[in-house]
Structure 1
Amino acid sequence: MFYTYILYSKTRDKYYIGSTVNLTERLKKHNTNHSGFTGHTGDWHIVWFGIFDNLRDARIKENQIKKWKSRVMIEKLIASTGL
């Protein structure tokens, strides 16, 4: 299985969108102290995820969400699934 996911950080009041094959391990990496966008925060949590049969479909969904460039659209997606 492959996942597209949205993380939220209360500290930064930001969302992060990504895709992975292992959601649990990827979240752990986001919450480590590293130099990337999600580094140095440590409070990222999953607010939405979709499950896909292949990486290509997961990446297509990831790119679709990123192209929205709209916090409102992202929050509507999150609210529609009730995680």
Structure 2
Amino acid sequence: MFYTYVLKSEVDGRRYKGHTDNIASRLLEHNSGKTKSTKGYIPWELVYFESFKTREEAIERERFFKTGVGREFIKNKIKANNSNK
């Protein structure tokens, strides 16, 4: 399985979108400073993810998440998830 995920920085609330085949280890990499683009905003929390059968599907969904419509989709999903808690 492959995953497209969204992380949120606990420092300033910014979001990071990516894809991986192992969410747990990828989150550890982000929070240990091994990813250059995210190390200045540690700690990160996983706020959303979707699973796919192929890497190509995960990459395509990540590209969508990075569009204006995709950012709005993520914002609404996170808001809905938080209101269900």
Name the SS of the counterpart of 2:43 in structure 1: coil
Name the SS of the counterpart of 2:39 in structure 1: coil
**What corresponds to 1:15 in structure 2?**
15
Alignment TM-score, normalising by the size of structure 2? 0.82
CA contact (8 A) 2:7 2:44 kept: yes
Structure 2: give runs of 5+ residues left out of the alignment: none
More off after superposition, 32-41 vs 10-19: 32-41
Percent identity over the alignment is 32
CA contact (8 A) 2:10 2:41 kept: no
Alignment TM-score, normalising by the size of structure 1? 0.83
AA partner of residue 20 (structure 2): T
Distance 2:12 2:34 in 1: 16
Following superposition, the deviation at residue 61 of structure 1 comes to 0.5
